[in-house]
Amino acid sequence: MASGAQALTPTPTDTAVLTVVLTQFSQSKDSAQYNPHGHIGISPTTTALMPSVTNKDYYEILKAGRVRVPDDALYDYIKRNRQAFQIGAFESLGSSARMESEDLAFTGGLLPNPDLKTFVSLRVPGYSADGNRAYVSFDFRWSIHGASAFYMLERRAGVWTIVTSDFVFAV
């Protein structure tokens, strides 16, 4: 865990948003890079945004992406993800996801555990001021290379729904 990380108990809203996103991601062909019948490994520590990049620079980079995000949700996302947090298990995902370190997911940092579908490093969601829109991004491994997933959600009749998503693969 990064220096200064705090224990984070996801709020019910964080859990609901991340559960919707991880459920959709686990069913996506983009997540089945190693074993299509395996589990998604989830890092028990969120990935903080790089401290050397300013809030303004992050805002401009993320705003230029293909997922359209309201300004207030984007600013909240940047603010909440300036620090890494310890997170708990997403028990509602059952056996499709497992909290595990990257060392357990990959042998020697490269070879995936035979039961692994992919490995994700989450960030906490950012919310609009009215609390009805959420932006989430996270990094995942699709080979020896990394990738990022971006999601915009809206709360409709009390249920979080993915409005748009995008994946960016590094090669």
Comparing 2-11, 23-32, 69-78, 82-91, the range with the smallest average pLDDT is 2-11
Can you give the pLDDT at residue 1? 45
Buried b (16+ CB within 10 A) or exposed e, 143-160: eeeebbbbbbbebeeeeb
Q: Are 128 and 74 in contact (CB under 8 A)?
A: no
Q: What is the mean pLDDT of residues 148-169?
A: 95
| pLDDT, tens digit, 9 for 90 and up, residues 72-99 | 999 999 999 998 888 888 888 888 899 9
Q: Which residues contact 75 (CB under 8 A, 6 or more apart)?
A: 55, 59, 126
Per residue in 102-141, pLDDT tens?
888 887 767 788 888 889 999 999 999 999 999 999 999 8
**pLDDT at residue 38, rounded to an integer:** 87
pTM: 0.88
- CA 74/CA 136 separation, integer angstroms: 9
Strands 106-107 and 111-112: antiparallel
